[in-house]
Amino acid sequence: MVLINNLIGNFGKYHLWLSIIILLNKFGVGLHQMAIIFLAPPVHYTCPNTNITCCYNPVYDKSVFSRTIITEWNLICENSWLKDFTQTLFQFGVLIGSLVLGAASDRYGRRPTLISAVIIESLTGVIASFLPDFWSFTIVRMMLGFSIGGILVIGFVIIMEYVGSKYRDILSALFHVPFSIGHISLAAFGYYITDYMYFQLAISVINIILLFYICVLPESPRWLLATNKTVKAISLMKRVAKINNLPLEDIPRLTELYQLEHKSVMKKGSLLDLFRTPNIRRNIIIMAFLWLVCSYCFYGVAQYISHLTGNIYVNVVASGSVSLCSCFVSIPLMKISKRKTLVIVFNVASSICLIVITFVPEGTYSVVLGCCGVFFTFIVFIVLYLYCSEMFPTVVRNAAIGISSMMARVGSMIAPFVAGLRPHGQWCAPVAFGVFPIIGAILCFMLPETKDCELLMTIEEGEALGRNQENQQQNIPSQNV
C-alpha cells in the first residue's frame, strides 16, 4: 500500500534503527540452527582389547573435541541415528513454531508474539546447556527450535511491512547476513570451546540481550490497519514520521480515508484463507514446496560439507562464507531481475553443482562444488523470503510465511539423514540433494511475478494478483490478431 510509506517514509532513521534491532536476532538464529555441526561432529574411537568396531566402553579420540553429545551419551553403532534425530526434533520445533507463532502474530500482533519467542529462546538455550541426559537435552532443544521458528518468520515480516518497496529487496537480502555471520562464528566457538555443554551455553547467553525488545519493539502499522486498530496505527505512524522528519498533519485524515474505503473488505485472516481461493491456494502450495527444497538442500549440503575430508573449521567457514557472499550478490540481482527468474535459474544451477559432485573425487573439488551449491541455494532462499512476503496479503502474510517456513523445516528435518548417506556411496547424498531443485524450478513457472508490486492488504487483492497476470497473458495473442 503506497499510502503508508508516503506517510512514514520508505527508509529513514526509524527504519534503520528498527532494521538493526531485528537483524540482531538472526545472529543467534544462525548459531542455534547450525550448532549441530559442533554439538555432534564426527568422532573417532577404538574398542579396548578387541578388533571389533562397536562396543559399550569405547575410547574416544578427544584431541579435537573434549566432549560432544556423541561421546557424552555414546551415540555410536546402533545409537548413531540419535545424533541426527536430535537435529530433526530441533527442526520439528522450528516447523511448529513458524506455523503456530506465525499465525498467532497475524491474529494477536507482531510485537507480543516476537517478544514471547525471544523469551522462550533465551530460557531454553541456557537450560539445554545443563541437562544431564540425551532426551531432556533433545526435548528442550526442540522447544528452542519452536521459538526460533517464530523469530525467523515474524522478524522478517516486521521489516517488510515497514520499509518501502524501493528498499525491500535490499533489506530482504541483508536480513540473512547475521545468520551467515553466526554460521561462520561457530567455527571460532567450536575451536575455543571444545566441550559441548559450555559451547551450548556460550551461544545461548549472547541472545539474552534481545530481551530489550520488551521495551523498544514496535507493532507493525500495516497489521494495526489490517485489523482495524486505526487510532493506534495513526499514533504509531505519527511517531515514525516525526523521527524521519516527515510532516504529521495529513496522517490522521489520509489513514481514516483509507480505512473507510476498505472497510468492507478488511477482516482478520486465518490459515484457511490461504486455501479457500484457487490462485492463492496454488501459490501457497508451490511456495511451500520451494521452501522445502531450498532448506533441504542448504542445511543438508552444509552438513555434508562439514563431514567431508579436511579441517572441519575450514569447511564450516567456507560454507558460511559462500552464504554470506550470496547475501550481497543477491542485492543487485533482485534489483535487475524478476523474482521468478532468479528462483528458476539458481535452482537449476544448484542442481547441476550438486549432481556433478558424484563425478569428481572426494576432496577439494567436492568441497568447492558443494560450496557452489550452497551459494546458489542460499540466493534462492533469500529471494523466496521476499517473494513470499510480496505474494500474500497482510491479513495472512505471516501465516503464509509460517506455512512455507514449516515446510522448510520438513526439508531440514530430512536433510541430516540424507547427508549421512555418504558411507553408503559417494553418489547417494549429492544425487538425493540435486534432483529436487530441478522440480522446484519447473513448478515456479506457475507462480505470478511480484517485482515492483506494493504489499497487498486483503485476500481479494491477493487472489487478483495471479488472476490479473493470467488475464494479461491470455489477452496478448488476441491483441496480436
The answer for residues whose C-beta is within 8 angstroms of residue 214's C-beta and 6 or more apart is 115
Indicate if the alpha-carbon torsion angle 52, 54, 57, 62 is positive or negative.
Answer: positive
Rounded Cα–Cα distance for residues 142 and 94 (Å): 8
The H-or-E segment that residue 125 falls in is helix 110-128
Measure CA of the first residue to CA of the last residue in the chain; give whole Å.
Answer: 36
pLDDT of res. 478: 37
CATH class (in words) of the domain with range 2-450:
mainly alpha
What is the residue-level pLDDT of the chain in tens, covering all 481 positions? Answer: 447 788 888 889 999 999 998 998 899 999 998 899 899 988 888 888 777 778 878 888 888 899 999 999 988 888 888 888 898 899 899 888 888 888 888 888 899 999 999 999 999 999 999 999 999 999 999 999 999 989 988 988 889 888 887 888 888 888 889 998 999 999 999 999 999 999 999 999 988 888 888 888 899 888 888 888 888 888 888 999 999 998 888 888 888 877 776 665 555 666 777 888 888 889 999 999 999 999 888 888 877 776 666 678 888 888 889 889 888 998 898 888 888 999 999 999 989 988 888 888 777 777 888 888 888 988 998 899 888 888 888 778 877 887 887 888 888 888 877 876 666 667 777 888 888 999 999 999 988 888 877 777 777 787 887 665 555 544 444 343 3
pLDDT of res. 402: 76
pLDDT tens-place string over residues 437-446:
999 999 999 8
pLDDT of res. 2: 45
Going by C-alpha positions, the residue among 95, 94, 90 that lies closest to residue 37 is 90
* Rounded alpha-carbon distances, angstroms, from residue 420 to 84, 135, 168, 181, 408: 8, 21, 38, 25, 19
pLDDT of res. 247: 85
pLDDT of res. 425: 63
pLDDT of res. 1: 45
pLDDT tens-place string over residues 321-338:
988 988 899 889 888 888
Rounded Cα–Cα distance for residues 474 and 470 (Å): 6
pLDDT of res. 269: 63
Cell 521468478, residue located: 340
Cell 549432481, residue located: 355
Helix ranges (DSSP H) in 193-338? 196-205, 213-216, 221-226, 230-243, 251-261, 273-276, 278-307, 312-336
Amino acid symbol at 408: A
DSSP sequence for 164-185:
-HHHHHHHHHHTTHHHHHHHHH
